[in-house]
């Protein structure tokens, strides 16, 4: 079963654009539930994104790309 991870809502401004600052995993790798897979940033506040489940990860956005809050950033199969 596939699970999608979205960019967290970190700003009260829904339209605020964030960035996927760092990927800690690569597409095709196995991740564990709870493993930190990325660091994201909005309005200078940064946050770790954890894998909600275990499986094989697919990264959907480029590192340092602009990303909207709620946008899909990864999938775990």
Q: How far is the CB of 2 from another protein (least distance, A)?
A: 20
Q: Which two tokens stand for residue 77?
A: 């199969």
For another protein, the binding residues (CB under 8 A) are 17, 19, 21-27, 29-32, 35-36, 39-41, 43-46, 59, 62-67
CA distance 76 to 22: 18
- 6 vs 46, beta carbon nearer another protein: 46
* Beta carbon nearer to another protein, 6 or 41: 41
């Amino acid at each position: 079963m596939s699970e999608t991870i979205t960019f967290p809502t970190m700003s009260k401004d829904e339209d605020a654009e964030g960035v996927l600052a760092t990927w800690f995993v690569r597409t095709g790798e196995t991740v564990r539930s709870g493993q930190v897979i990325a660091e994201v940033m909005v309005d200078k506040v940064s946050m770790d994104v954890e894998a909600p489940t275990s499986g094989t990860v697919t990264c959907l956005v480029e590192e340092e790309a602009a990303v909207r809050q709620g946008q899909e950033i990864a999938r775990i199969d």
